[in-house]
């Protein structure tokens, strides 16, 4: 029996007849499979012919192999803790003065732990070890303080989240009475960051989060490997916070710094939903814009939270410029110039001088001279009480990303600060800057507001 061309019998003689595809569809299927096959071949071949930039990136990642930090796993664990605290509401039973007092006790205890750990490490380095009575006593005290910190940590975090959130809500950055996204952070020791820059210019070529537990010996060995094997400048540094979600913040710092850092990292979370944050890291200018905006807003919100909830710790308001100049003039007139103490070492001014000179030397192609100069300047900073372990191109690539800092020579920092002065409030400022991606965008926005 002849079957139509569109049918065929299964070769096993079992089952219903199947449809045969028309010739044009068979051709299309073959073309699609051919395209897929070519793509797979190219993809697999690509592993042996990586672009130069990706090859360097992979090699640099190997420098820190075994010391990587799993941000995603940390975030999942932290979110579980935050969900638990959300339902327990540990801070709800305390009134405002009690909340403020608990925060200060917690931070004082954190600084005490740091002091004891330094003393414990001094005993170890002196060869006395932890087996002595003094070492054992220190360890017991540290353990007891850490246990108390663990009991209070979620409560203190929730207090600070609500305090910073209250200021953000007043600025109009809220949905209802809660900021969006919610302020969430955890007190932790954040990971360190490996930053790599070319030697001939200051630019972040590669960044990688590494475990905070890396020893000094491991850190210095990794930096040396970057230099000797890759011919690049490497720097591994501790960071005070990380814009994950929840964000990470250290607890052994001053309260003003912590409030500002919590707000700073919240700004990064906020910007993630807009072009500026979504494109974080596409180039160095984008990083500078991001970090400067977070610094400007973080400092403003942090200072407002300090004045609201801890007024006894807030500095007196800065007098207007004309008053400050008058007071400075009166002081000069009253002094006779004979008993004046020598001017104090100005870290910010000296670091800016250093950066400008390094830029000049690198622009002239005098790399070795620039590196020798940075080492001499580092020794000067150390002699003045600033224990800089490293001062190189990667150091400036990292610290220079904060446009308001002395390690930066980018004009973007002052421009973004000026833009904040021109905008009426934080909400408007963020609405303006959250779509700025390039220096030209910043210039246009600044020109619009100045006009």
188 and 261 Cβ atoms separated by less than 8 Å:
no
Q: Does residue 212 sit within a domain?
A: no
Q: What is the DSSP letter of 136?
A: H
Q: Report pLDDT for 61.
A: 67
Q: Does residue 364 sit within a domain?
A: yes
Is the dihedral angle over the CA atoms 337, 340, 342, 344 positive or is it negative? negative
**pTM (whole model) above 0.85:** no
In three state form, how does the secondary structure of 29-62 look?
Answer: HHHHHHHHHHHHHHHHHHCCCCCHHHHHHHHHHH
Q: Does residue 297 sit within a domain?
A: yes
Q: Report pLDDT for 192.
A: 87
Q: Report pLDDT for 450.
A: 93
Q: Report pLDDT for 340.
A: 55
Q: Give the CA radius of gyration of the chain.
A: 29
Q: Report pLDDT for 354.
A: 95
Block means of pLDDT (10 residues each) for the chain, 451 residues, are 37 40 53 54 41 60 73 85 86 91 95 85 59 74 90 94 96 88 89 91 87 83 90 88 84 92 94 91 87 95 96 70 40 45 80 94 96 95 89 91 73 93 96 95 95 85
Q: Does residue 328 sit within a domain?
A: yes
Q: Report pLDDT for 431.
A: 96
Residue 4, both tokens: 């139509």
Nearest C-alpha neighbor of 302 from the set 247, 258, 251: 258
Q: Does residue 323 sit within a domain?
A: yes
- Which residues constitute the domain of residue 328? 253-332+346-450
Number of domains the chain is built from: 1
Q: Does residue 275 sit within a domain?
A: yes
Which helix H or strand E contains 241, and what residues bound it?
strand 241-242
* 60-75 as b/e: b if 16+ CB within 10 A: beebbeebebeeeebb
Q: Report pLDDT for 240.
A: 75
**Segment 341-396, tens digit of pLDDT:** 556 888 989 999 999 999 999 999 999 999 999 999 999 999 998 888 899 999 99
Q: Report pLDDT for 196.
A: 92
259 and 247 Cβ atoms separated by less than 8 Å:
no
Residues near 59 by Cβ (< 8 Å), separated by ≥ 6?
Answer: 229, 230
**Segment 167-222, tens digit of pLDDT:** 999 999 988 888 988 999 999 887 888 999 999 999 888 888 888 878 888 888 88
Q: Does residue 272 sit within a domain?
A: yes
Q: Does residue 415 sit within a domain?
A: yes
CA distance 274 to 267: 11
């Amino acid at each position: 029996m002849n079957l139509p061309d569109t049918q065929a019998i299964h070769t096993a003689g079992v089952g219903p007849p199947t449809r045969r595809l028309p010739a044009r569809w068979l051709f299309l299927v073959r073309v699609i499979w051919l395209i897929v096959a070519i793509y797979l071949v190219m993809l697999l071949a690509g592993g042996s012919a990586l672009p130069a930039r990706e090859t360097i990136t992979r090699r640099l990642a190997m420098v820190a192999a075994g010391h990587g930090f799993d941000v995603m796993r940390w975030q999942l664990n932290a979110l579980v803790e935050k969900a638990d605290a959300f339902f327990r509401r540990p801070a709800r039973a305390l009134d405002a003065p009690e909340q403020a007092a608990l925060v200060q006790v917690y931070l004082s205890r954190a600084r005490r732990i740091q002091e004891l750990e330094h003393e414990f490490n001094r005993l170890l380095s002196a060869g006395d070890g932890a087996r002595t009575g003094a070492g054992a006593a220190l360890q017991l005290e540290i353990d007891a303080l850490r246990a108390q910190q663990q009991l209070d940590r979620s409560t203190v975090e929730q207090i600070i989240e609500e305090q910073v959130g209250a200021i953000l809500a007043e600025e109009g950055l809220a949905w209802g009475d809660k900021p969006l996204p919610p302020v969430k952070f955890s007190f932790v020791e954040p990971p360190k960051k490996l930053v790599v820059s070319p030697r001939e210019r200051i630019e972040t070529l590669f960044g990688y989060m590494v475990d905070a537990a890396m020893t000094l010996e491991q850190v210095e060995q990794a930096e040396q490997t970057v230099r000797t094997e890759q011919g690049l400048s490497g720097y591994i540094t501790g960071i005070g916070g990380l814009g994950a979600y929840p964000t990470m913040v250290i607890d052994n710092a001053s309260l003003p710094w912590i409030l500002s850092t919590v707000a700073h990292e919240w700004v990064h979370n906020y910007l993630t939903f807009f072009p500026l944050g979504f494109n974080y890291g596409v180039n160095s200018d984008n990083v500078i814009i991001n970090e400067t905006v977070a610094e400007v807003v973080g400092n403003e919100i942090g200072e407002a939270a300090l004045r609201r909830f801890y007024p006894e710790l807030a500095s007196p308001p800065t007098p207007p410029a004309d008053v400050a100049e008058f007071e400075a003039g009166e002081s000069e007139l009253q002094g006779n110039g004979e008993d004046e103490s020598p001017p104090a070492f100005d870290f910010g001014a000296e670091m800016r001088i250093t950066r400008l000179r390094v830029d000049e030397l690198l622009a002239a192609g005098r790399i070795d001279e620039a590196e020798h100069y940075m080492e001499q300047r580092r020794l000067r900073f150390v002699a003045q009480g600033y224990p800089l372990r490293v001062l190189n191109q990667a150091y400036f690539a990292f610290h220079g990303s904060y446009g308001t800092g002395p390690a930066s020579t980018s004009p973007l920092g002052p421009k973004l600060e000026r833009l904040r002065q021109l905008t009426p409030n934080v909400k408007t400022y963020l609405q303006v800057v959250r779509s700025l991606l390039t220096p030209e965008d910043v210039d246009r926005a600044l020109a619009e507001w100045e006009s």
